[in-house]
Amino acid sequence: MPPIKIGIVGLGKIARDQHLPALAANPDFDLVAVASRNASQEGVASFATLEEMLEAMPELDAVSLCTPPTVRYGQARQALRAGKHVMLEKPPGATLSEVEDLAQLAESSPGSLFATWHSRYAPAVEPARQWLASRRIRKVHIEWKEDVRVWHPGQRWIWEPGGMGVFDPAINALSIVTAILPRRFFLHEGTLQFPENCQAPIAANLYFSDSQDTPITADLDFLQTGPQTWDIHIETDEGNLALRKGGSQMFVDDQLEHEAPEQEYPGLYARFAELVARRESDVDVAPLRHVADAFLLGRRETVAAFHDEG
């Protein structure tokens, strides 16, 4: 099969840091265009908008949308209707309903739709899923604590409606847990702490369970200074598993069992190439659905105002 001719839309930090290198390293793809209002890429046809890119390059097979979630729906729809394969950064949309609409459109389109969750491609995630598959799970605890001032300096959008606050990182944890646990789970109660000057929570405590009443808890914090924590702890009838550092390390009973270099975006593009070859879509809204459920069912507490400068 000849390489998939792909265009990137939205040439921001995530595109430059992750998408461009992953594409450059993957012979299944040929990056032939970018669309970006403010930037261009040397050696590649550059356009101001997706519309212009689609118009000028009918030979394009696929587009990868690295734009903010609020504008992604219209772009994804336009590309799918033009018969292109479409890859979406996470989260796949600003609402569940628009993602549902895209998923339905993809079913009747020639192009594949891939709603990505990059953390699912962290190196220890698949080993963890396999290790858990044969064991009885007793308890799950997610601890996702980072310092917003370090990771999102000056990014005011994260506190606006739809910005999701602490769920912007925590949706990565939810994307891992929904991938490695053998059963669906759902929220029973939760507490979301909203700074008095923000439209999104800065911390949350969530209590889920599954159909077998397995307790699944999450402790999310966006004000963690010092060591940062992106860990998932799972107690089973045959030992305890810990996924640490965002899924890059797997420990069993405190012994490091699996560790490998970070390869999340290369993993995403390998999966996208597979979907395109099979003409299949992969749209799992479960992580975003859990966030929406938390906003729907969670108790709101107002806490001290958040100011970026500390």
- Secondary structure (3-state) at 111: coil
- How buried is 68 (Cβ within 10 angstroms: 0-12 exposed, 13-18 middle, 19+ buried)? middle
Cα 288 to the center of its chain, rounded Å = 9
Task: Supply the minimum distance, in Å, between the C-beta of residue 19 and a copy of itself.
Answer: 26
Determine contact, residues 44/31, Cβ cutoff 8 Å. yes
Q: Which is nearer to a copy of itself, 57 or 96 (CB)?
A: 96
Q: Which is nearer to a copy of itself, 259 or 293 (CB)?
A: 293
Task: Supply the minimum distance, in Å, between the C-beta of residue 177 and a copy of itself.
Answer: 12
C-alpha distance from residue 288 to each of 171, 180, 242 (Å): 7, 16, 23
Question: Is residue 90 flagged as an active site residue?
Answer: yes
Q: Which is nearer to a copy of itself, 20 or 187 (CB)?
A: 187
Task: Supply the minimum distance, in Å, between the C-beta of residue 97 and a copy of itself.
Answer: 4
Task: Supply the minimum distance, in Å, between the C-beta of residue 10 and a copy of itself.
Answer: 19
Residues in CB range of 36: below 8 A, 6 or more apart: 8, 9, 10, 11, 12, 46, 47, 48
Residue type, 119: S
Determine contact, residues 35/65, Cβ cutoff 8 Å. no
Alpha helices, DSSP H, located in 184-263:
none
C-alpha distance from residue 123 to each of 20, 243, 271, 289 (Å): 20, 10, 14, 25
Q: Which is nearer to a copy of itself, 211 or 255 (CB)?
A: 211
Give 150-199 as a DSSP string.
HHSTT-GGGGSTTS-TTHHHHHHHHHHHHHHSSS-EEEEEEEEEEETT-S
Task: Supply the minimum distance, in Å, between the C-beta of residue 54 and a copy of itself.
Answer: 17
Task: Supply the minimum distance, in Å, between the C-beta of residue 95 and a copy of itself.
Answer: 4
Q: Which is nearer to a copy of itself, 12 or 162 (CB)?
A: 162
Site residues, a copy of itself (CB under 8 A): 73, 77, 94-98, 100-101, 104-105, 161-162, 164, 184-187, 189, 194, 199, 211, 286, 289-293, 295-300
Q: Which is nearer to a copy of itself, 70 or 229 (CB)?
A: 70
Task: Supply the minimum distance, in Å, between the C-beta of residue 262 and a copy of itself.
Answer: 29
Q: In this structure, how many other beta carbons lie within 10 angstroms of the beta carbon of residue 83?
A: 13
Partners of 250 in the β-ladder: 243, 258
**Of these residues, 5, 13, 84, 90, which one is catalytic?**
90
Give 23-90 as a DSSP string.
HHT-TTEEEEEEE-SS---TTSEEESSHHHHHHH-TT--EEEE-S-HHHHHHHHHHHHHTT-EEEEPS
Q: Which is nearer to a copy of itself, 41 or 191 (CB)?
A: 191
Which residues form the catalytic set?
90
